[in-house]
């Protein structure tokens, strides 16, 4: 007998939705979408990438939707961050027209954060916004599928062309992790660790003590981990949907992380790897500004490294270019740097007008390069 899935609610008044978490949920996607009120009268589009399409996930999703009466079209994009751009968005608009999508249609984003952000952006803009459903297939996408940030990249920076468009439902099938490469598992754990660091010291300690079982992808552990991590994201988003204040804490590690991704042309580091380096750097900065002690920095870098994530500022990236890229971060106003810094493990603060000379100095010291 199938076990009932776990549910985490994202409370956003008339835009509230559930995150359903459990094993084998892709095979029940149609039933779950119907239950969430996604209509079957108009055609729908399932967007995925060519890696996910090679696994059984796409077939299971489409079969389930068809069994529930949905008329399904498919769009497959090339896998990878390089696809998160306006040209691919335009190809998806073409697909949407070919599939006859109208205002009552829905887009299902089946994949990692790239598919979710891109398909979500298309759903937010096609005919001024249609329903979309997130069906995350990476560990990292437990974060990207929740909260409604949808975007594409621009040569000037990550996610700078985007919108807030909440999904109607998130269906997280834990079984999808079985086909995910180990590197992507580690990458996803970076965002999980972030959620512990910014919000919940107990969760962070639990992660420290459960590393081996997490690495073994024990299904019960993964269900608990996802439910706790999604609950933190949901709690933050519910309090500040459009990032007027609090939500910026979810950007811990991203100021440097996004600069690393952008300067390395999105080809060297996964998102999780880049923000792992960014979190190690933000922890060092927090210590430099006397907010936390060295033991906490060692503890944080220790966990990231035990997971197999990088913590060192890349030697091949120029500190001045990193600094300039960070000044274009969406949190920066008037060219002044904003960083999310730790006050203790489990608590952070958004700090504006950070002294850029100090950041440059630390970048040079940690990257072991002189200016
Ligand atoms: N919107 C948000 O709030 C938010 C939050 C975090 C990250 N993001 C964005 O998410 C993106 C990163 O997402 P990601 O790490 O999921 O990357 P991704 O979507 O590129 O997926 C990583 C790799 O795994 C493959 N893959 C996906 N699911 C698979 C499966 N089940 N089996 C085998 N292979 C599979 C993909 O084809 C890809 O090669 C970045 O663009 C980042 O900016 C957005
Ligand atoms: O949901 C948020 O808010 C986040 O900051 C989550 C991040 O993990 C994610 O990478 C997000 O896309 C970054 O947002 P951005 O506004 O800095 O592009
Ligand atoms: Zn992120």
Is the C-beta atom of 147 inside 6 A of ligand 1?
Answer: yes
In this structure, the answer to whether residues 154 and 248 fall within a common structural domain is no
Question: What average pLDDT score do residues 319-324 get?
Answer: 96
Q: Residue 230 domain-assigned?
A: no
Question: What average pLDDT score do residues 291-307 get?
Answer: 97
Q: Is the pLDDT reported for residue 148 higher than 50?
A: yes
- Model confidence band, residue 155 (pLDDT cutoffs 50, 70, 90): confident
Per-residue three-class SS string for the chain: CCCCCEEEEECCHHHCEEEEEECCHHHHHHHHHHHCCCCCCCCEEEEEEHHHHHCCHHHHHHHHHHHCCCCEEEEEECCCHHHCCHHHHHHHHHHHHHCCCCCCCEEEEEECHHHHHHHHHHHHHHHHCCEEEEEECCCCHHHHCCCCEEEEEECCEEEEEEEECCCCEEEEEHHHHHHCCHHHHHHHHHHHHHHHHHHCHHHHHHHHHCHHHHHCCCHHHHHHHHHHHHHHHHHHHHHCCCCCCHHHHHHCCHHHHHHHHHHCCCCCCCHHHHHHHHHHHHHHHHHHCCCCCHHHHHHHHHHHHHHCCCCCCCCCCCHHHHHHHHHCCCCCECCEEEEEEEEECCEEEEEEEECHHHHHHHHHHHCCCCC
- Note the Cα 212 to chain centre separation in Å: 23
In this structure, the answer to whether residues 162 and 247 fall within a common structural domain is no
- Model confidence band, residue 333 (pLDDT cutoffs 50, 70, 90): confident
Measured from CB, residues less than 6 Å from any atom of ligand 2 are: 143, 147, 149, 158-159, 191, 243, 247, 250-251, 254, 330
- Note the Cα 45 to chain centre separation in Å: 22
Q: Residue 277 domain-assigned?
A: yes
Q: Residue 225 domain-assigned?
A: no
In this structure, the answer to whether residues 245 and 161 fall within a common structural domain is no
In this structure, the answer to whether residues 161 and 208 fall within a common structural domain is no
CATH number for the domain that contains residue 248: 1.20.1090.10
Q: What contacts 41, CB < 8 A, 6 or more positions away?
A: 104
Let me know if 159 is a catalytic residue. Answer: no
Average pLDDT, the chain: 96
Q: What is the pLDDT of residue 368?
A: 58
Q: Which of 194, 251, 252, 275 to mutate to test the pocket of ligand 2 (most atoms within 8 A of CB)?
A: 251
Spot the catalytic one: 51, 241, 251, 330.
251
Q: Is the pLDDT reported for residue 1 higher than 50?
A: no
In this structure, the answer to whether residues 137 and 270 fall within a common structural domain is no
pLDDT per residue over 160-196, tens digit each?
Answer: 999 999 999 999 999 999 999 999 999 999 999 999 9
Q: Residue 228 domain-assigned?
A: no
Q: Measured in angstroms, how far is the CA atom of residue 302 from the centroid of ligand 1?
A: 25
Q: What is the pLDDT of residue 370?
A: 45
82 token code pair: 């390089």
In this structure, the answer to whether residues 131 and 263 fall within a common structural domain is no
Question: What average pLDDT score do residues 346-354 get?
Answer: 97
**Residue ranges making up the domain that contains 261:** 182-216+239-366
Q: Residue 17 domain-assigned?
A: yes
Q: How far is CA 288 from CA 15, 44, 190, in A?
A: 41, 52, 22
Question: What average pLDDT score do residues 8-19 get?
Answer: 98
In this structure, the answer to whether residues 87 and 209 fall within a common structural domain is no
In this structure, the answer to whether residues 189 and 169 fall within a common structural domain is no
In this structure, the answer to whether residues 207 and 125 fall within a common structural domain is no
Q: Measured in angstroms, how far is the CA atom of residue 15 from the centroid of ligand 3?
A: 22
Does 191 carry a binding-site annotation?
yes
Q: What is the pLDDT of residue 245?
A: 95
Spot the catalytic one: 88, 95, 271, 330.
271
Question: What average pLDDT score do residues 140-159 get?
Answer: 95
pLDDT per residue over 46-79, tens digit each?
Answer: 999 999 999 999 999 999 999 999 999 999 999 9
Q: Residue 259 domain-assigned?
A: yes
Q: Residue 243 domain-assigned?
A: yes
Question: Which is the closest atom of ligand 1 to the Cα of 158?
Answer: 43
- Nearest-CA residue for atom 20 of ligand 1: 80
Rounded to whole angstroms, the Cα distance separating 100 from 225 reads 39
Q: Which of 61, 112, 160, 232 to mutate to test the pocket of ligand 1 (most atoms within 8 A of CB)?
A: 112
In this structure, the answer to whether residues 139 and 192 fall within a common structural domain is no
Question: What average pLDDT score do residues 133-152 get?
Answer: 98
CATH number for the domain that contains residue 38: 3.40.50.1970
pLDDT per residue over 204-233, tens digit each?
Answer: 999 999 999 999 999 899 999 999 999 999
Name the percent of the chain lying above pLDDT 90: 92
- Model confidence band, residue 367 (pLDDT cutoffs 50, 70, 90): confident
Q: Residue 157 domain-assigned?
A: yes
Q: How many domains does the chain have?
A: 2
Question: What average pLDDT score do residues 126-143 get?
Answer: 98
Q: What contacts 331, CB < 8 A, 6 or more positions away?
A: 248, 251, 255, 338, 350
Spell out a b/e string for 274-307, using b for 16 or more CB atoms within 10 Å of the CB, else e. Answer: bbbbbbbbbbbbbbbeebbeeebbebbbebbeeb
In this structure, the answer to whether residues 161 and 189 fall within a common structural domain is no
In this structure, the answer to whether residues 50 and 108 fall within a common structural domain is yes
Rounded to whole angstroms, the Cα distance separating 270 from 289 reads 29
Question: What average pLDDT score do residues 122-134 get?
Answer: 98
């Amino acid at each position: 007998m199938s076990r009932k899935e776990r549910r985490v609610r994202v409370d956003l008044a008339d835009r509230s939705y559930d995150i359903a978490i459990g094993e084998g949920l892709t095979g029940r996607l149609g039933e779950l979408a119907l239950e969430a009120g996604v209509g079957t009268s108009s055609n729908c589009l399932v967007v995925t990438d060519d890696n996910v399409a090679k696994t059984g996930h796409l077939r299971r999703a489409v079969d389930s939707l068809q069994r529930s009466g949905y008329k399904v079209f498919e769009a497959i994009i090339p896998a990878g961050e390089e696809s998160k751009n306006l040209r691919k968005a335009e190809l998806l608009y073409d697909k949407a027209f070919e599939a006859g999508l109208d205002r009552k249609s829905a887009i299902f984003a089946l994949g990692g954060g790239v598919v979710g952000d891109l398909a979500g952006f298309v759903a937010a803009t096609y005919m001024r916004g249609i329903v979309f459903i997130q069906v995350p297939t990476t560990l990292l996408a437990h974060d990207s599928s929740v909260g409604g940030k949808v975007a594409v990249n621009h040569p000037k920076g990550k996610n700078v062309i985007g919108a807030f468009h909440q999904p109607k439902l998130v269906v997280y099938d834990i079984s999808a992790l079985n086909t995910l490469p180990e590197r992507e598992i580690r990458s996803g754990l970076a965002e999980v660790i972030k959620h512990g660091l910014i919000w919940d010291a107990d969760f962070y300690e639990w992660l420290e003590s459960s590393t081996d079982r997490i690495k073994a992808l024990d299904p019960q552990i993964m269900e608990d981990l996802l439910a706790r991590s999604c609950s933190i994201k949901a709690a933050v988003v519910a309090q500040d949907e459009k990032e007027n204040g609090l939500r910026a804490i979810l950007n811990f590690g991203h100021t440097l992380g996004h600069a690393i991704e952008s300067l390395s042309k999105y080809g060297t580091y996964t998102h999780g790897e880049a923000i792992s380096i960014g979190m190690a750097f933000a922890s060092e900065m927090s210590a430099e500004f006397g907010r936390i002690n060295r033991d906490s920095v060692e503890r944080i870098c220790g966990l990231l490294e035990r997971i197999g994530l990088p913590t060192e500022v890349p030697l091949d990236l120029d500190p001045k270019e990193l600094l300039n890229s960070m000044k274009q971060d969406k949190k920066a106003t008037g060219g002044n740097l904003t960083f999310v810094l730790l006050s203790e493990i489990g608590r952070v603060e958004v700090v504006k007008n950070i002294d850029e000379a100090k950041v440059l100095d630390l970048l040079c010291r940690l990257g072991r390069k002189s200016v």
